[in-house]
Amino acid sequence: MGLFSFLQTKDINSGVRSFLSTEGAVLLDVRTPEEYAEGHIVGSKNIPLQSIEKTESVITDKSTPLFVHCRSGARSAQATSILKRMGYTNIEDIGGIMSYRGKVVK
């Protein structure tokens, strides 16, 4: 980890590839339900940041690999921090869907 590694942006495209190759993983979209309905990545679960505590009732195994994203990367960073405090141990913040080059569904 270099001195300026915090400046590196997350690559949602490689994050989605990692999600697809990780058995039992969950792709967690923390945008609002309205944003999710406008277009989301196939297979993602929508738990908005403002309701992130509901994750415990949806994903009960706290060692489940979670790949978290939002629109630009800000909310996914917040959600990742909260999920860690909630006891989740296998979390990757993959950034924002704005830079996603794959197919989205509505």
Domain boundaries, the chain: 26-98
Phi and psi, residue 44, nearest 5°: -80, 150
- The set of catalytic residues is 70
Asked whether the beta carbons of 94 and 67 are under 8 A apart, the reply is: yes
26-98: CATH topology is: Oxidized Rhodanese; domain 1 (3.40.250)
Ordered DSSP codes for 22-37: STT-EEEE-S-HHHHH
The whole-model pTM stands at 0.91
Encode pLDDT of 8-61 as tens digits: 568 999 999 999 999 999 999 999 999 999 999 999 999 999 999 999 999 999
pLDDT, residue 1, reads 43
Single-letter amino acid code for the residue at 93 = D
Q: Which of 3, 8, 11, 5 is nearest to 92 (CA)?
A: 11
CA distances from 52 to 20, 92, 104 (A): 23, 15, 22
pLDDT, residue 10, reads 85
With tokens 């590839």, the residue in question is 17
